[in-house]
Structure 1
């Protein structure tokens, strides 16, 4: 299993980095939708959407993303900003409430609406952080994605070494508060490094950037827990078997979906 995970990761990482740094803006938007669309497909399976309704939903979601991308620039920006701002109450209010109450996955039209609220802003976040094919834009998107990866890796090793107090045993028994502390420390160091390297195309003082980065660490944890709860609610172990050794696409980008949405919305508010 470990060998399979490593091989899959070694194949996926160059693919993602190549897309981030070398695709044109339209091709990047299409690639990003492929990633998010696969996660939406896996979500639709969890939500028990079936038959023609599921495929119409998925096709309609793709056409909706295409329609947004094809809008004239001022209107496209307005729609994108509106959806990104809508993601803030979804991730900062609705999702923590959802986890605390342990509501089951909705069905039918409510499941479809929830899927849009989760996935469309994430796709817009991919596009907003990498609006063109410049190295600077690619680097700042990589910086945002790196925050999620650093938080995940630091939480894993801290949890393995020190984990005693369970974070959410009814949702994800393997996660601990010690792991969260490790993620916070890892992201704090990563934020300092990214600032020193000049990866971000905006100038915020560390006194503001660090709290924002730590808040995004919490959002990352929430995104992970939400997908774990969806899987428990659906009675499945992985979102799919698309990625050997890793489960599904949604399994791999659950935290990234949350962080991309919230970070892009916050950037818009702070601009």
Structure 2
């Protein structure tokens, strides 16, 4: 299993890194479009569609992303998109955490499908816009999610006692979440120091937030984004538990599906763009 995970990770990096560091934005936009389309297929399957209807859902999502790319939104999307996504994720995430896997099917299937595909579309759009803004900017958001996850993992292993959402993800603890938030705050200040002392192509998310909102605003927003990355993870876990699935698919051997890899990114990217646009 470990060998398979490593091979898959190396292959993914071999494809993603050249697109991410390409001097133009479209290779990354097209590659992530294909991945988001696959995630749309996975979401449809988790919510009861199989065969042609599930493939159609993924195709429809990919077509919506392609339409945004054609319209020029992959470089500069309207700001209201990020704020609409923020509203849906905050309110919808709170509702999903409250009802848990047992209550998830109480939401009609068409609405579940629509909300999931919309979340994936806005996440792809945010990824494309972040890439157009600059490598330093997009990497700072990626690393926020990764830092929150890594610090939460080790903090939960070391200090974890109180379960965060045992019906959804028994391994997560409140102590892990707090450790993840602390790690992101440390990352933010380290990244800002690097921004000040190195030639970069763009300001990082942290530098932008600090310039706009000061230290207190930066810390509060970093905590909020860390929390929302956890919500993204929990919402996907909730959908999988409701469907009785361990992974979203087997598209990535050793890693599960695309959704399993990007769940925490889904709310974080559009919310980061919303808050940095203030």
Give the structure-2-normalised TM-score: 0.87
Count, aligned residues = 263
Tell me how far apart the structure 2 counterparts of residues 59 and 124 of structure 1 sit (CA, whole Å).
16
Tell me how far apart the structure 1 counterparts of residues 139 and 17 of structure 2 sit (CA, whole Å).
8
User: Where in structure 2 are there 5+ consecutive unaligned residues?
Assistant: 196-202
Aligned to 1:58: 58
Tell me how far apart the structure 2 counterparts of residues 111 and 92 of structure 1 sit (CA, whole Å).
16
State the shift of 1:45 in Å.
Answer: 0.9
State the shift of 1:221 in Å.
Answer: 0.6
Aligned to 1:192: 189
Aligned to 1:93: 91
Pairs within 5 Å for 1:118-267: 118-131=119-132, 137-198=134-195, 199-200=203-204, 202=208, 203-204=211-212, 205-267=214-276
Q: 1:77 to 1:244 in 2, by over 3 A?
A: closer
Q: 1:76 to 1:21 in 2, by over 3 A?
A: closer
Give the structure-1-normalised TM-score: 0.89
State the shift of 1:188 in Å.
Answer: 1.0
State the shift of 1:23 in Å.
Answer: 5.8
Tell me how far apart the structure 1 counterparts of residues 112 and 47 of structure 2 sit (CA, whole Å).
6
State the shift of 1:15 in Å.
Answer: 3.1
Q: 1:254 to 1:66 in 2, by over 3 A?
A: same
State the shift of 1:58 in Å.
Answer: 2.1
Mean Cα displacement is larger for which, 214-223 or 256-265?
256-265
Matched, 1:24 2:24: yes
User: Where in structure 1 are there 5+ consecutive unaligned residues?
Assistant: none
Q: 1:16 to 1:57 in 2, by over 3 A?
A: same
Tell me how far apart the structure 2 counterparts of residues 58 and 16 of structure 1 sit (CA, whole Å).
20
Mean Cα displacement is larger for which, 254-263 or 99-108?
99-108
Q: Is the 1:49–1:107 contact (alpha carbons within 8 Å) kept by the matching residues of 2?
A: no
Mean Cα displacement is larger for which, 259-268 or 210-219?
259-268
Tell me how far apart the structure 2 counterparts of residues 154 and 72 of structure 1 sit (CA, whole Å).
37
Aligned Cα root-mean-square deviation (Å):
2.2
Tell me how far apart the structure 1 counterparts of residues 177 and 112 of structure 2 sit (CA, whole Å).
30
Per-residue CA shift, 1:88-128, capped at 9, x if unaligned? 11111111111111232455422331122211110111011
